[in-house]
A and B are shown apart, each in its own frame.
Chain A
Amino acid sequence: MSHEGEVSLAHISYGVWDGVVLDNRGKDAPDRVALSEFDSIDEFNPGNPIRAFFADRGFLVFDPEVSLIDALWRYLDKAAEQSCGKCTPCRMGTVLIRDALNQLRIGDAVQLDFDTIDTLAQQMAETSLCGLGRTCAGALLGALHHFRGALEAEADAGPAPRQYGMSYMTAPCIEACPSRINVPRYIDYIRDGKPEHSLGVILQKYPMAATCGRVCVRFCEIACHRSLVDQPVGIKTLKRYVADHQKGPNALNFTRDLIAHPLPDDMRVAVVGAGPSGISCAYHLLLHGYHVDILDAMGEAGGMAAIGIPSYRLPKDVVKSESEILISLGGHFLFNQALGRDYSIDDLFARGYKAVYLALGCQQGTQMGVKGEDPTLSGYETGIAFLLIVHDHIAGIKTTALSGDVVVVGGGNVAMDCVRSALRMGANSVHLIYRRTRADMPADKEEIEAAEAEGVIFHFLTNPSQVIAQDGRVVGVELVDMAQTDADAKGRRNVKPIPGTERVMTCTTLISAIGQQVQSGAITPVDGVAMNRWKCVDVDATSLATSRPGVFAGGDCATGPSTLIHAMAGGLRAARAIDDWLQLGEVRFAPRARMRQIVAEHKMLASCVNVPVKRIYRVHHPELDPEVRKSMFEEVEHNITKEEAYHEANRCMRCYRIYSVITDQPIPEGAV
């Protein structure tokens, strides 16, 4: 940012970052030292420049008029508020330092001098148990050791001027999670012996904890810093553990009195699609006090979680009980209602809904586009269509016997679900065809290993080139070997067919599990909702608003086929946007989202605490033997025991970090 006639605030006045001291005070422009990676820190929200930024790795002051003492007090105040109190130095250090800084800030009699504050800060930084205590004195120590003069001058000058800003505490796992679940907190509650409270933390973000605890792709675990010691914490496993407290005699119940401010009867919202995104959005709208109807083309709730994920991974009753939370909160499901077939978006507004959330998902399988491919052939299915057959088979709606050899094409989780389901449906043999290498497969590693253990035969660097049919039936597929090309500029290697390697593999069923798209005909031009070039609903990235006012969209229909956790995160974001739009006519600025953006853009969380940590290995779900499980649809993975949960929870290192900004103006309130 650059104000006319002013020095850009992106120019650092002074500060310390990763041990590097910058001091541009009193220097002319040519002599000023810059940290280029912080050039983009300018405004927090429009018209509100960032004057200073404080973090575990140091602090940067852009406006030399900023009161360091006040800013550090704000930072330590957050730390003291968030200190769990288990370890001595953080429990007492945060409070003692905060109180001392407060006295300095307001000009009260000083209890602790700077030397004592320094000693306490070092004690916290060097001897605290978790990431919070070890890092929350970082900025303070930088100031004490390199800008002690500035601090003393400020203290002598009397009370600090009024400042604005906010502090934000997060952790690598939280930032990695699309739903921003406070992972260390829910793990801590397990460690504390309060699984209900742990579940309560998760339920703040979405109602499908047991589902997520079974099928989440776990961005959190990829980010988990415990992996630098041994293995990431079993975050998903623990989520499933606590989610089981939603059943049984002491089950946590949802009651209507959770809705603090019920809205008038006409505040009705329609949610189109009862999948994870729709359920999540409806849940939050209900909690905001809206009257919500959830329409779905199917006869049951859950969307892809119910139909697309086989019961050996996610039992049907889990999805059912979680979708029933919406009924407890006053929501209504309207089943067998397909958008485009039974109603249009105009119809929804005509029925009195004030806003619409489109969460249709991607329910139509993509074809391979090879010679001889014909969706009407007997024995030919897309992945999603096959999983629907499996679903109907298990649900007792329509029995299907599978025999002979099955070929599945694709490398994602849907392909894995197809091969493992095909085994359970009675296939003679199941082959997976994937055009790249095993390492390139987008499916979860655990899924690939499980499929392999159950006897699926993998063919990598292989692609179908033609569908062979006889009398309207699939009898085989022509395959061709693929070769990896040289790495491109980004290091990615593509594949291309090797001519002359074509051969035919006989099969009775061929499943194309290479992708899905929005059901054609669901959204038509008369709906006034624009689609983008990927044939998904076009939405504003922040507000999820579509081109039609009052219509929002999220989940797979807006993002393309993605994960459960992304879909649920979209539902929450849409609910906030719909609430803002209906109450205020606009979607508000989200301060925490802006903090996350700053944290992400500057890779602030990359640092890790570097002390030796004792290796303790993670627990594993007890699971059924592959020979037994491959013929049945009962859940393969069982829950862990209470002892195992305590063990696993103890592995969390609580890599909390606090980030704090000082701004020119008060930061506007936005959705939490």
Chain B
Amino acid sequence: MDTLIAETAGTPVNVTIDGQPVIAYAEETILTCARRHKVNIPTLCEMHDIDHAPGTCRVCLAEIRTPGRDGLQMATTCNTPVCEGMEILTHTKRVRDMQRLQVELLLADHDQDCATCVRHGNCELQDIAHFVGLRTNRFFRPERIASRGIDDSSPALIRDMTKCIRCRRCVAICREGQAVDALVVTGSGQSAAVGLHYGTSQKDSTCITCGQCVLVCPTGALGERDETDLVLDMLYDPEIITVFQFAPAVRVGFGEEFGLPPGTNVEGQIISALRTLGADIVLDTNFAADVVIMEEATELLRRLGQGKKPTFTSCCPAWINFAERHYPDILPLLSSTKSPQQCLGKIAKTYLPERMGLDPARIRVVSIMPCIAKKDERVREQLGENGVREIDVVLTTREFARLLRRQGIDFAALPSSTFDNPYMTAYSGAGAIFGTTGGVMEAAVRTMYKVVTGEELAKIELDQLRGFEGVRSATVDVGNGIGVVKIAMCHGLKPTRELVEAVRAGTADFDFIEIMACPGGCVDGGGNLRSKKAYMPNAMKRRESLFAIDHVARVRQSHNNPQVQALYRDFLEQPYSEKAHHLLHTYYTDRHLDMVRTVKDIWQEITMSTMIY
């Protein structure tokens, strides 16, 4: 779309901000200029990281005087361009009064029950109310939010539109960031909110629950289903043996919540925290990641031998949702291997009790995941047997933080601890890097090479896989009849959609494709901690920490993980064995939504236009 922006990096123009002459660039906004010159202007709907300035909240006001025009004008700085000679006044009394009234008007149809809101104390709307010095709240009436409901139909994502401030960040990230385009603007006036295409419920929508919208939502309008109480019920039930696991990415994305530097590896403190909570057994999803590699690498080589290609990875539940909802015709190309979360749950309810002499019926597995879609995955019909789920509760990283606070656990003060379970906690460097884009592929290549050649891959850190472009591709020569394997890694659903389209069109020639639905992979998954006014601010730090774990790991290949070797020796026999296939593989179903609507349906829904019929 090179025709869209005719003027980039404009020529310098002279403006003044609060009397100080500064240099601006033609066509940039006042806000951009003010920020560059460290002038603070309160903003709410705007989000620079995703290039989002819808101009809906109208809080970022300033008075401007433009040459050739008498008097001052009030302008929203996020979308008003500078011009030569413009005078910008950011903090006049009139500006401050209008900003304050704007926030008061925002509160007039916003659910005021802050104490019960998950965003309390971590809310951009509360922040802006402080910034503008709001001390009155004259206009709120409960009936103003009555027409916007709460959609709690989904096991994963809850949409509470009584808290929506119409910033449209969710729409933007879903549309432009992820190209899922599941969201629409609904209603008008005070009923205006964000809903789902075709007016469906969250559960039956084209949304794939990646949760990126939750990461950008400024308020408590979007969030996961809170299941911390379910975990407390289990912890305080003496009959239940609680088994916890946490995902590769959780350990590098959790410390921030408690004031530790972004990317800090807090694996040891998480183990301590879980023990403090009262967890009976603490396991590591990284172990299951190694198991997944054993299964997936074997499956891939088998498929290659059968001339089937490409094979898509299947670890990411939002990607599975995406494929089932949007591209069901590619389902035969998906690896049948379950995700690490589900593999761990299955093994923890079969192998583990056998080894430890426990009653499997007493075991409940709780996962801590940087992901909302894992909650969807947990309840998939094909991931349970005789009413027994492989996983009993999934907590997002956010819920885990909430749980610790509820239990009064001072995370930052906890000593570091280590795993003590001898069966399902050891992991290789390969399992550790599952949490970032390219990690699954890198881990798979290490093992695939060994399976085919009988030798270890010499250079195991595959730099060509470690870029951050939406789609990266490489070739690996594994020889021995298989030869060159063409691989691709894709993160974020916008590049995924393009790649899937290319595969369907026959224009992309790959053998193995790793997909992670969230940009950056699980380290930036939709279940991570929220970052106010920023999108993916710590992506690279978390990623580097995962690579660092791999770098210093004693064992760096999944097949060299001694506990994995024991699992196969004592229980599963060998990768892709009949038993492994029964326990660790699954299938997918076509869940495409075909919405046939008539003109009559549509005409009944149109508002704010004079309708003849």
- Bound form: Cα–Cα A615–B27 in Å: 7
- Bound form: Cα–Cα A251–B598 in Å: 8
Given A89-B105, A129-B55, A200-B603, A616-B190 contact (CB < 8 Å)? no
Q: Are A614 and B27 in contact (CB under 8 A)?
A: yes
- Determine whether A87 belongs to the interface, using a CB cutoff of 8 Å to chain B: yes
Q: Are A85 and B190 in contact (CB under 8 A)?
A: yes
**Distance between B34 CB and nearest chain A CB, rounded to angstroms:** 15
- Bound form: Cα–Cα A192–B193 in Å: 10
**Distance between A322 CB and nearest chain B CB, rounded to angstroms:** 13
Q: Are A91 and B192 in contact (CB under 8 A)?
A: yes
- Determine whether A343 belongs to the interface, using a CB cutoff of 8 Å to chain B: no
From B183, B192, B602, B612, A84 is in contact (CB under 8 Å) with B192
**Distance between A569 CB and nearest chain B CB, rounded to angstroms:** 13
B85-121 at interface with A (beta carbon < 8 Å): 98, 101-102, 105-106, 108-109
- Bound form: Cα–Cα A91–B81 in Å: 25
Q: Are B4 and A619 in contact (CB under 8 A)?
A: yes
Residues of A close to B186: CB separation below 8 A: 192
Q: Are A253 and B55 in contact (CB under 8 A)?
A: no
Binds A, one of B70-78, B341-349, B564-572: B70-78
Q: Are B608 and A185 in contact (CB under 8 A)?
A: yes
- Bound form: Cα–Cα A209–B184 in Å: 23
- Bound form: Cα–Cα A326–B602 in Å: 18
From B6, B594, B595, A617 is in contact (CB under 8 Å) with B6
Report the interface size class on chain B: 35 or more
From B29, B181, B190, B603, A204 is in contact (CB under 8 Å) with B603
- Determine whether B538 belongs to the interface, using a CB cutoff of 8 Å to chain A: no
Given A82-B608, A127-B76, A201-B609, A95-B5 contact (CB < 8 Å)? no
Q: Pick the most buried of B58, B74, B598: most chain A CB atoms within 10 A of its CB.
A: B58
Given A123-B98, A200-B599, A617-B5, A612-B75 contact (CB < 8 Å)? yes
Residues of A close to B610: CB separation below 8 A: 182, 592, 672
From B74, B83, B105, A126 is in contact (CB under 8 Å) with B74
- Bound form: Cα–Cα A616–B185 in Å: 22
Of chain B, the residue at the smallest CB distance from A258 is B600
Residues of B close to A182: CB separation below 8 A: 609-610
Residues of A close to B80: CB separation below 8 A: 611-614
- Determine whether B605 belongs to the interface, using a CB cutoff of 8 Å to chain A: yes
**Distance between B536 CB and nearest chain A CB, rounded to angstroms:** 21
From B5, B109, B597, A252 is in contact (CB under 8 Å) with B597
- Bound form: Cα–Cα A615–B3 in Å: 12
- Determine whether A96 belongs to the interface, using a CB cutoff of 8 Å to chain B: yes
From A85, A257, A615, B600 is in contact (CB under 8 Å) with A257
From B105, B171, B191, B192, A193 is in contact (CB under 8 Å) with B171
Residues of A close to B64: CB separation below 8 A: 612
From A96, A191, A194, B108 is in contact (CB under 8 Å) with A96
Q: Are A193 and B102 in contact (CB under 8 A)?
A: no
A51-82 at interface with B (beta carbon < 8 Å): 80-82
- Determine whether B518 belongs to the interface, using a CB cutoff of 8 Å to chain A: no
Q: Pick the most buried of A86, A119, A643: most chain B CB atoms within 10 A of its CB.
A: A86
Residues of A close to B332: CB separation below 8 A: none
Residues of A close to B83: CB separation below 8 A: 612
Residues of A close to B597: CB separation below 8 A: 196, 250, 252-253
Q: Are A252 and B598 in contact (CB under 8 A)?
A: yes
Q: Are B594 and A672 in contact (CB under 8 A)?
A: no
Of chain A, the residue at the smallest CB distance from B174 is A193
- Bound form: Cα–Cα A178–B105 in Å: 39
From B106, B596, B599, A203 is in contact (CB under 8 Å) with B599
- Determine whether A414 belongs to the interface, using a CB cutoff of 8 Å to chain B: no
- Determine whether B477 belongs to the interface, using a CB cutoff of 8 Å to chain A: no
- Bound form: Cα–Cα A644–B176 in Å: 11
- Determine whether B532 belongs to the interface, using a CB cutoff of 8 Å to chain A: no
Q: Are B75 and A611 in contact (CB under 8 A)?
A: yes
- Determine whether A620 belongs to the interface, using a CB cutoff of 8 Å to chain B: yes
**Distance between A578 CB and nearest chain B CB, rounded to angstroms:** 14
Q: Are B599 and A614 in contact (CB under 8 A)?
A: no
**Distance between A58 CB and nearest chain B CB, rounded to angstroms:** 19
**Distance between A527 CB and nearest chain B CB, rounded to angstroms:** 31
Q: Are B106 and A88 in contact (CB under 8 A)?
A: yes
Of chain B, the residue at the smallest CB distance from A96 is B139
Residues of B close to A191: CB separation below 8 A: 185
- Bound form: Cα–Cα A81–B81 in Å: 31
Residues of A close to B54: CB separation below 8 A: 86
- Bound form: Cα–Cα A250–B27 in Å: 40
Q: Are B102 and A127 in contact (CB under 8 A)?
A: yes
Q: Are A128 and B181 in contact (CB under 8 A)?
A: no
**Distance between A649 CB and nearest chain B CB, rounded to angstroms:** 11
- Determine whether A197 belongs to the interface, using a CB cutoff of 8 Å to chain B: yes
Of chain B, the residue at the smallest CB distance from A86 is B56
Given A193-B197, A197-B606, A255-B600, A91-B27 contact (CB < 8 Å)? no
Q: Are A619 and B595 in contact (CB under 8 A)?
A: no
- Determine whether A646 belongs to the interface, using a CB cutoff of 8 Å to chain B: yes
Q: Are B75 and A84 in contact (CB under 8 A)?
A: no
- Bound form: Cα–Cα A69–B599 in Å: 41
Residues of B close to A128: CB separation below 8 A: 58
Residues of A close to B58: CB separation below 8 A: 87-89, 127-129
- Mask: chain B, 151-187; 1 = CB below 8 Å from A; 0 = not: 0000000000000001010010001100001011111
- Bound form: Cα–Cα A199–B602 in Å: 9
A129-183 at interface with B (beta carbon < 8 Å): 129, 182
Of chain A, the residue at the smallest CB distance from B183 is A193
Given A89-B102, A92-B139, A193-B171, A643-B81 contact (CB < 8 Å)? no
Of chain B, the residue at the smallest CB distance from A260 is B613
Q: Are A126 and B98 in contact (CB under 8 A)?
A: yes
Residues of B close to A87: CB separation below 8 A: 55-58, 166
Q: Are B602 and A197 in contact (CB under 8 A)?
A: yes
- Determine whether A93 belongs to the interface, using a CB cutoff of 8 Å to chain B: yes
- Bound form: Cα–Cα A347–B598 in Å: 37
- Determine whether B1 belongs to the interface, using a CB cutoff of 8 Å to chain A: yes
- Determine whether B259 belongs to the interface, using a CB cutoff of 8 Å to chain A: no
Residues of A close to B139: CB separation below 8 A: 92, 96
**Distance between A82 CB and nearest chain B CB, rounded to angstroms:** 6
- Bound form: Cα–Cα A93–B80 in Å: 22
Of chain A, the residue at the smallest CB distance from B602 is A200
Q: Are B1 and A644 in contact (CB under 8 A)?
A: yes
Q: Are B81 and A615 in contact (CB under 8 A)?
A: yes
**Distance between A651 CB and nearest chain B CB, rounded to angstroms:** 10
Of chain A, the residue at the smallest CB distance from B600 is A258
**Distance between B547 CB and nearest chain A CB, rounded to angstroms:** 34
- Determine whether B189 belongs to the interface, using a CB cutoff of 8 Å to chain A: yes
- Determine whether A647 belongs to the interface, using a CB cutoff of 8 Å to chain B: yes
- Bound form: Cα–Cα A62–B57 in Å: 39
From A91, A96, A204, B611 is in contact (CB under 8 Å) with A204
**Distance between A96 CB and nearest chain B CB, rounded to angstroms:** 6
- Determine whether A254 belongs to the interface, using a CB cutoff of 8 Å to chain B: yes
Residues of A close to B306: CB separation below 8 A: none
- Bound form: Cα–Cα A199–B168 in Å: 23
A589-616 at interface with B (beta carbon < 8 Å): 592, 610-616
Q: Are B66 and A123 in contact (CB under 8 A)?
A: no
- Determine whether B426 belongs to the interface, using a CB cutoff of 8 Å to chain A: no
List 8 tightest A-B contacts by C-beta distance, closest first: A85-B192, A192-B185, A193-B184, A200-B602, A92-B105, A126-B74, A185-B609, A85-B189
**9 further contact pairs, Cβ within 8 A, besides A128-B58, A129-B56, A672-B611:** A83-B188, A87-B55, A194-B185, A204-B612, A204-B613, A249-B594, A284-B612, A612-B64, A617-B3
Q: What are 29 A-B pairs at a CB distance below 8 A?
A: A82-B188, A83-B189, A84-B188, A85-B190, A85-B192, A86-B168, A88-B57, A88-B58, A89-B102, A92-B105, A92-B106, A96-B108, A123-B105, A127-B102, A129-B76, A192-B184, A194-B197, A197-B602, A200-B605, A201-B606, A203-B603, A204-B613, A253-B596, A257-B598, A258-B603, A287-B613, A612-B75, A614-B79, A615-B6
List chain A positions with a Cβ less than 8 A from chain B.
80-89, 91-96, 119-120, 123, 126-129, 182, 185-186, 191-194, 196-197, 199-201, 203-205, 249-255, 257-258, 260, 284, 287, 592, 610-617, 619-620, 642-644, 646-647, 672
